[in-house]
Structure 1
Amino acid sequence: MRRALGVFTLLWLFSSPLHAACTVAMANASFGSLSSFTVRGTEQQTSANLVVTCDTILNLLTNDTVSMNVLSATVTSGTRPAMKRTDNTTLPDVVPVRVCGTSSCSNTTETAVGQTYSWSGNTLLGLLTSKSYTLPIYFRTVSGQSVTAGPYQVNVTLNISYSVCPTGLLGICLGTPQTGTVPVTTQLTMNVSTDCITISAPDVNFGSAPLVSNFPSVSQSVAITCTKGSTYTVGINNGVNAGGGTVRKMVNGSNSMSYDIYKGSTSTRWGPSGTERWASGAASSVSSDGTVNTYNYTARMLSGQNTPPAGTYTDTLVVDVAF
């Protein structure tokens, strides 16, 4: 009886059952909708699961391996995949993306195009569920990009290689490991939204003069920081002393002085509505990164008015941006 049991055990140890190839599936990932300044200022991270399913029972060995090679991307920036506008592919704007094997996305786990990252040992054991390895792959944007608003996308192709023991016992792989390499493609998407973050409008000081006619014109600028390429208009209201009219006034008690604000050095009024508003496309200047529009203006006292009593005269104006 003992001899028969020994023969049976030897036959079982050396048998090599056939197993089907592992299947590999990869999900897509989205960064959601983000302000252009969020994309520019901070790295954004998302992830997608890579699932490797094999014809195996629960395996407690530590010699299985799964490797990810970043084979290619539809758009790249250097050695990284890069998301690009899908609705206007002529624009050069891109958002580079780091592909990583861990959530920390450290330099040792970032995988550039052409490079490989591997899971093995206890790390892989911790991701084993029944017959599948579920491996989260992390994608992190590179900050510092000044981009226009719109939908962005990139397709990344990964070569997934695996070597998985079908059955393990006492630290020994029974049978032939399941091996193979399967290409999978994941799609990364992001929607960049339009935003404005600062309006720089310094105070206007006409100085001092004995007569209204002696006050000089004041030339200054309003600077507005908005998403690169965004279309909007800029208006200036009529102040708190216009009384529902359109004449801007600085007041001191019941006394006042009338003034106005003009676009550039022209006589075209800069106002709150209609054609008096200033279109972003007609800004005086634009910064090199396309985010800061500058609007030069001239403030002048209106001619033909009497000089009021001496004193300090003030008004408060509001600059607004409308998309």
Structure 2
Amino acid sequence: MLRLVIFMAFAMFPLSALAQSCSFSVSNMNFGLVDTLSGSQTNTTATINMNCSGIVGQRILICAHLAAGTGGASSATARQMFSGANALNYQLYSDSARSVVWGSYAWAYASRPPALALTPNVLGSATGTATIYGAVAGGQGTVPPGTYLSTFSGAQVEFRYRYTSGSSCSTASGTVAADPTFTINATVAANCLVSTQNIDFGSKGVLDGNVDATGQVSVTCTPAAAYTVSLNGGTTGSPPTTRKMSKGVETVTYGLYKNADRTQPWGDASVPGSTVPGTGTGVPQVFTVYGRVPPQATPSAGVYTDTVVVTVTY
């Protein structure tokens, strides 16, 4: 007698594995201290964390739509953070070269989000990360100091996902995930830049009368930053009106002044009232330095020089 038995193999899968389900979080993006007077760009990044479950081996396309944030955008290339009524321009990108703007189907500009994707493993789950690249453009010198912020939440950030082999993120397609919230922030600190133009008294045969010449100090400070400009006593540490240009042990006495009449000496904190005050505007402010060589005994012929250190305190 033959006994025929067919053994039925079966497997159990949770129903949730048949449909895709994804969740997302985004880290805050902090630019730290930003030097708006510099022409250099300030870069940083944020990270998207992705967790999905679904059909084994079935590709899930993820579209992370990022609109303008609460700071808005002044153009297709400039999102904004705000500190009160003051704006700081920045941008979000999908590439490390920071050339492709990360956008959304739901904003006024052409840029769209990059195509992200996860494929569930044999357990029906998948995880991954993606990087958002941020940049604050240099040369925003008229931006005042402060803490600048833009928030992405609600309608400003929308994650959509769907089963597909395609890579289009140009429309509102797919299931909408719970919206993550993240912030973009930067701190603009008070800062100053300084440049100078030397003073050349030229050639003089005999020092029997005043010899006048001028130079310049150019100061660029962030708006509303109070500052003072001081000039030290040169290599000999002399008082403002009796500084010394030298050639070996021989010297020529000269003075530096704040006014064209050469009545207001320009010195440093060691001489009260001799410094020059200012308030930053974000653009260069030029101060004339008035020099004078008074009549004096004429030393031997040659080139006489001195080095004066300009200090901007803010």
How does the TM-score come out when normalised to structure 1? 0.71
User: Equivalent of 2:234, from 239, 244, 254?
Assistant: 239
Question: Cα deviations across residues 111-136 of structure 1 (Å, max 9, x unaligned)?
Answer: 2672532425xx54499x94434333
User: Equivalent of 1:96, from 74, 90, 109?
Assistant: 90
Structure 1 246/208 Cα, relative in aligned 2: closer, same or farther at 3 Å? closer
Answer 1 or 2: which has greater helix percent.
1
- Superposition RMSD on alpha carbons, in Å? 3.8
Aligned to 2:44: 46
C-alpha distance in 1 between matches for 2:120 and 2:40: 34
Alignment of 1:21-100 (within 5 A): 22-38=22-38, 40-42=39-41, 44-56=42-54, 59-62=56-59, 64-75=60-71, 76-79=73-76, 80-84=78-82, 86=83, 89-91=84-86, 93-97=87-91, 99-100=92-93
Question: Cα deviations across residues 207-239 of structure 1 (Å, max 9, x unaligned)?
Answer: 3143431x4321332223444553321111122
Aligned to 2:150: 154
Aligned to 2:134: 139
Structure 1 238/104 Cα, relative in aligned 2: closer, same or farther at 3 Å? closer
C-alpha distance in 1 between matches for 2:242 and 2:298: 16
Name the aligned partner's letter for residue 78 of structure 1: S
Q: Identity percentage over the alignment?
A: 21
Name the aligned partner's letter for residue 90 of structure 2: P
The alpha-carbon deviation at position 159 of structure 1 amounts to: 0.8
Name the aligned partner's letter for residue 317 of structure 1: V
Whether the aligned pair in 2 keeps the contact of 1:252 and 1:311 (CA below 8 Å) is: no
Alignment of 1:275-286 (within 5 A): 275-281=273-279
Whether the aligned pair in 1 keeps the contact of 2:102 and 2:112 (CA below 8 Å) is: no
Whether the aligned pair in 2 keeps the contact of 1:250 and 1:314 (CA below 8 Å) is: yes
Alignment of 1:1-323 (within 5 A): 5=8, 22-38=22-38, 40-42=39-41, 44-56=42-54, 59-62=56-59, 64-75=60-71, 76-79=73-76, 80-84=78-82, 86=83, 89-91=84-86, 93-97=87-91, 99-107=92-100, 110-111=102-103, 114=107, 115-120=111-116, 124-125=118-119, 130-146=125-141, 147-156=143-152, 157-163=156-162, 179-213=175-209, 215-227=210-222, 229-241=224-236, 247-252=242-247, 256-266=251-261, 267-273=263-269, 274-281=272-279, 290-302=282-294, 305-312=295-302, 313-323=304-314
C-alpha distance in 2 between matches for 1:118 and 1:269: 62
Gaps of 5+ in 1: 166-177
Aligned to 2:170: none
Structure 1 126/208 Cα, relative in aligned 2: closer, same or farther at 3 Å? farther
Aligned to 1:169: none
Q: Give the ranges of 4+ consecutive aligned residues of structure 1 lying more than 6 Å apart after TM superposition.
A: 1-4, 15-20
Structure 1 268/105 Cα, relative in aligned 2: closer, same or farther at 3 Å? same
C-alpha distance in 2 between matches for 1:32 and 1:230: 19
Name the aligned partner's letter for residue 181 of structure 2: T
Structure 1 136/125 Cα, relative in aligned 2: closer, same or farther at 3 Å? farther
Name the aligned partner's letter for residue 212 of structure 1: D
Name the aligned partner's letter for residue 288 of structure 2: N
Name the aligned partner's letter for residue 102 of structure 1: D
The alpha-carbon deviation at position 67 of structure 1 amounts to: 0.8
Structure 1 205/138 Cα, relative in aligned 2: closer, same or farther at 3 Å? same
Question: Cα deviations across residues 178-221 of structure 1 (Å, max 9, x unaligned)?
Answer: 932433332011223344454223133243143431x4321332
The alpha-carbon deviation at position 65 of structure 1 amounts to: 1.1
> 1:279 is paired with a residue of what secondary structure?
strand
| Equivalenced residues, count | 285
Gaps of 5+ in 2: 165-173
Structure 1 246/309 Cα, relative in aligned 2: closer, same or farther at 3 Å? closer
How does the TM-score come out when normalised to structure 2? 0.73
The alpha-carbon deviation at position 161 of structure 1 amounts to: 0.8
C-alpha distance in 1 between matches for 2:74 and 2:90: 6
Aligned to 1:170: none
The alpha-carbon deviation at position 246 of structure 1 amounts to: 6.2
